[in-house]
């Protein structure tokens, strides 16, 4: 559990067993966006939703039992509420809530939220193990296989990721090219992004890797590509929102780090899984291209050994 989720650090209770989170200055509704769909709720589910609405910080970090206690329901009611709202369960919903909460606070406040790091290496690795578990639970094999099939059949693949998220985007483009896929990397925004995506259409795939804050240029490019008939594969930490709406295939990753930055470990792991599936989709072509690549390495005298 995050250090900031200790009882004394969470918001004060009100008549609903919850309160506006005074520590962050976030209002009761602005932070949720479309995370909670407008669906009919039972009385118990309504109380769970009310706790979530009024407690950004608590909802993002507290254990399931704490949410249940605040809402005066049992634990299973919280799980059923999450499922009724379209999530796999409470961990999936809480991952979505935490992603939205971290966007609403400043970078400096994120440092405060994570508290003092006493053993950075241990805590970073431990936290990423949890990110990997959440990511595994957030995606089905069928969803991954559908994304792989789309890329395996693509006329061309453009992978977009900027800032920290250019890392997993670069891995996908580099290794995809190594096995013979017609795949290119775009790690810039603005006019560069427009030029690299303006010809996408039927038969093309746009892979968008965007976590934490939604980058306007990337979202607009994804929407334009979808409108032009291209297939959009999104790797995101949000299950809802404009990017999720534009995506034909959505793969959800946990991306919270232990400091002011997000972690790309789970995104990288997911990319490796997609690449393995892409290799298996065209094994003969992949292996022939890999052999040619290795020969070029020798011819170019790239490596010392």
d(CA 178, CA 83): 41
Helix (H) or strand (E) holding 108: helix 107-114
Enumerate the β-bridge partners of residue 186: 160
Residue 261, domain CATH? 3.40.50.10490
* Number of independent structural domains in the chain: 2
Within-domain flag for 122? no
- Mark whether 162 and 111 lie in a shared domain: no
Q: Last residue of some domain: 67, 82, 116?
A: 116
- Mark whether 166 and 51 lie in a shared domain: no
Q: Residue 2 has what pLDDT?
A: 42
Within-domain flag for 20? yes
- Mark whether 42 and 191 lie in a shared domain: no
**Tens digit of pLDDT for each residue in 223-243?**
999 999 999 999 999 999 999
243 contacts 217 by C-beta, under 8 angstroms:
no
Domain of residue 158: give its range.
139-299
SS (H, E, C) 25-50: CCCCCCCCCCCCCCCCCCHHHHHHHH
- Mark whether 48 and 176 lie in a shared domain: no
- Mark whether 112 and 144 lie in a shared domain: no
Q: Could you tell me the pTM of the whole model?
A: 0.82
Within-domain flag for 304? no
- Mark whether 245 and 276 lie in a shared domain: yes
Q: Residue 29 has what pLDDT?
A: 56
Within-domain flag for 133? no
- Mark whether 162 and 259 lie in a shared domain: yes
As a whole number of Å, the end-to-end CA separation of the chain is 46
Q: Residue 27 has what pLDDT?
A: 56
Within-domain flag for 305? no
Q: What is the mean pLDDT of each run of 10 residues along the chain (305 residues)?
A: 39 40 53 88 95 92 94 96 94 91 81 80 95 94 98 98 96 97 96 96 98 93 98 96 96 93 96 98 96 94 89
- Mark whether 256 and 149 lie in a shared domain: yes
Q: Residue 111 has what pLDDT?
A: 75
- Mark whether 275 and 227 lie in a shared domain: yes
- Mark whether 11 and 53 lie in a shared domain: yes
d(CA 4, CA 226): 40
- Mark whether 73 and 216 lie in a shared domain: no
| Three-state DSSP state, 185 | strand
The answer for residues whose C-beta is within 8 angstroms of residue 198's C-beta and 6 or more apart is none
CA-CA-CA-CA torsion sign (278, 279, 283, 286): positive
Q: 135 in the Ramachandran plot: left (φ > 0), alpha (ψ -120 to 50) or beta?
A: alpha
Q: Residue 17 has what pLDDT?
A: 38
Residue with tokens 């962050």: 24
Within-domain flag for 239? yes
- Mark whether 231 and 111 lie in a shared domain: no
Within-domain flag for 208? yes
Within-domain flag for 124? no
d(CA 300, CA 97): 50
């Amino acid at each position: 559990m995050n250090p900031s989720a200790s009882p004394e650090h969470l918001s004060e209770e009100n008549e609903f067993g919850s309160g506006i989170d005074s520590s962050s200055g976030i209002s009761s509704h602005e932070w949720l966006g479309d995370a909670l769909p407008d669906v009919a709720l039972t009385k118990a589910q309504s109380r769970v939703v009310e706790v979530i609405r009024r407690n950004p910080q608590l909802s993002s970090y507290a254990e399931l039992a704490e949410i249940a206690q605040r809402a005066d329901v049992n634990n299973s009611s919280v799980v059923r509420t999450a499922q009724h709202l379209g999530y796999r369960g409470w961990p999936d919903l809480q991952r979505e809530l935490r992603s939205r909460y971290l966007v609403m606070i400043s970078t400096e406040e994120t440092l405060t939220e994570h508290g003092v790091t006493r053993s950075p290496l241990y805590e970073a690795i431990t936290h990423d193990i949890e990110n990997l578990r959440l990511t595994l639970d957030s995606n089905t094999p069928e969803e991954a296989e559908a994304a792989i099939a789309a890329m395996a059949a693509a006329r061309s693949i453009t992978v977009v990721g900027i800032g920290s998220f250019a890392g997993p985007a670069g891995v996908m483009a580099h290794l995809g090219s190594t096995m013979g896929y017609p795949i290119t990397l775009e790690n810039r925004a603005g006019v560069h992004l427009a030029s690299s995506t303006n010809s996408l259409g039927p038969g093309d795939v746009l892979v968008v890797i965007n976590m934490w804050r939604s980058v306007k240029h990337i979202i607009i490019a994804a929407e334009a590509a979808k409108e032009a008939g291209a297939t959009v594969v999104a790797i995101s930490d949000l299950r809802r929102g404009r990017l999720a709406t534009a995506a034909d295939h959505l793969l959800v990753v946990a991306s919270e780090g232990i400091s002011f930055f997000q972690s790309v470990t789970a995104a990288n792991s997911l990319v490796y899984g997609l690449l393995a599936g892409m290799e298996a989709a065209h094994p003969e072509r992949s292996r022939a291209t890999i052999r040619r690549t290795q020969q070029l390495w020798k011819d170019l005298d790239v490596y010392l050994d």
